């Protein structure tokens, strides 16, 4: 029998590191973040991190993946909602925008990952891993793309190029990762109001009809 493998504990140990790493990556960027920085944020040393992750690139990729998986999980409940695609889109967009605010360190890391991949700033074997992650993100993007196309067919949206529109839409929905700053004593409702503004702006960009007070 293998000597007791407390999977929960191990996952917990990894999750702690991931959170610290995500924060460091957000605050300092990838290259500017040293493994020692992440370790320091944990009150630990390099050894702890290299025990759970093979390299800095691996750590980064794990943060990326975790961020994307959280997005999938947040949107999943609304994907199969019956009714107009435009309404479905609004729920999904709202969930997405909230994700950008609540899990900001992870989402900024995802963003950095995309930028780095576009720049090809990785070694060949890392590019394979990254390509996988980028696919994960593309698939996620495709989910929204399908919905806005459907909504256009149903006459609720009105826009030109699908690919450009999808880019612009995500740009708006993702934007909180850049300008949102947590305030003391902020409630969930405050955040939802913020997200609401963002979603409304994106909705308009898609050529959605003006409506008031829809959640």
Partner DNA sequence: TTGACAACATACCCAGTAGTATGTTCATCA
Partner DNA sequence: TGATGAACATACTACTGGGTATGTTGTCAA
Give the interface with DNA as residue ranges (CB under 7 A): 1, 3-4, 6, 9-10, 13, 31-36, 39, 44-48, 50-52, 55-57
Rounded Cα distance, 201 and 199, in Å: 5
212 binds its own copies (CB under 8 A): no
- For residue 8, give both structure tokens: 């929960």
Give me the least distance between CB of 24 and DNA, in Å please.
Answer: 10
Q: Which is nearer to its own copies, 57 or 168 (CB)?
A: 168
Give me the least distance between CB of 19 and DNA, in Å please.
Answer: 14
- Check: CB of residue 50 under 8 Å from CB of residue 35: yes
Give me the least distance between CB of 22 and its own copies, in Å please.
Answer: 14
Binding mask 106-145 for its own copies (x = CB under 8 A): ---------xx--x-x------------------------
DSSP notation for 30-96: TTT--HHHHHHHTTS-HHHHHHH-SSHHHHHHHHHHHHHHHHHHHHHHHHT--S-HHHHHHHHHHHH
Phi first, then psi: what are they for 43, rounded to 5°? 65, 35
Q: Which is nearer to DNA, 119 or 183 (CB)?
A: 119
Tokens 């967009």 correspond to 93
Give me the least distance between CB of 110 and DNA, in Å please.
Answer: 19
Give me the least distance between CB of 33 and its own copies, in Å please.
Answer: 10
Q: In the window 12-51, what residues touch its own copies (CB under 8 A)?
A: 27-29, 31-32
Rounded Cα distance, 150 and 86, in Å: 8
Rounded Cα distance, 135 and 186, in Å: 35
Rounded Cα distance, 64 and 61, in Å: 5
- Check: CB of residue 70 under 8 Å from CB of residue 91: no
Q: In the window 67-106, what residues touch its own copies (CB under 8 A)?
A: none
Q: Which DSSP category does 212 fall into?
A: S
Q: Which is nearer to its own copies, 125 or 161 (CB)?
A: 161
Tell me which of DNA, its own copies, none is bound by residue 45, counting a contact when its beta carbon lies within the kind-specific cut-off of 5 to 8 angstroms: DNA
Tokens 């290259």 correspond to 31
Phi first, then psi: what are they for 32, rounded to 5°? -70, -15
Which residues are near its own copies by CB under 8 A? Answer: 27-29, 31-32, 115-116, 119, 121, 159-161, 164-165, 167-168, 171-172, 175, 178-179, 194, 197-198, 201-202, 204-205, 207
């Amino acid at each position: 029998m293998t000597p007791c493998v407390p999977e929960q504990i191990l996952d917990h140990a990894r999750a702690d590191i991931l959170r610290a790493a995500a924060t460091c990556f957000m605050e300092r960027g990838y290259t500017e973040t040293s493994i020692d920085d992440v370790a320091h944020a944990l009150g630990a040393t390099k050894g702890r991190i290299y025990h759970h992750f093979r390299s800095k690139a691996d750590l980064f990729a794990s943060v990326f993946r975790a961020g994307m998986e959280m997005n999938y999980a947040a949107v999943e409940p609304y994907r199969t909602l019956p009714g107009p695609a435009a309404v479905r889109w609004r729920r999904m967009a709202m969930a997405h925008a909230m994700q950008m605010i609540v899990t900001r360190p992870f989402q900024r890391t995802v963003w950095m990952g995309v930028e780095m991949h576009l720049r090809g700033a990785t070694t060949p074997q890392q590019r394979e891993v990254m390509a996988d992650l980028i696919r994960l993100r593309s698939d996620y993007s495709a989910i929204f793309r399908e919905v806005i196309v459907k909504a256009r067919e149903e006459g609720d949206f009105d826009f030109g190029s699908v690919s450009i529109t999808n880019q612009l839409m995500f740009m708006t929905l993702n934007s909180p990762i850049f300008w949102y700053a947590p305030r003391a004593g902020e409630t969930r409702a405050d955040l939802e109001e913020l997200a609401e503004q963002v979603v409304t702006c994106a909705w308009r960009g898609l050529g959605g009809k003006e409506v008031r007070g829809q959640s």
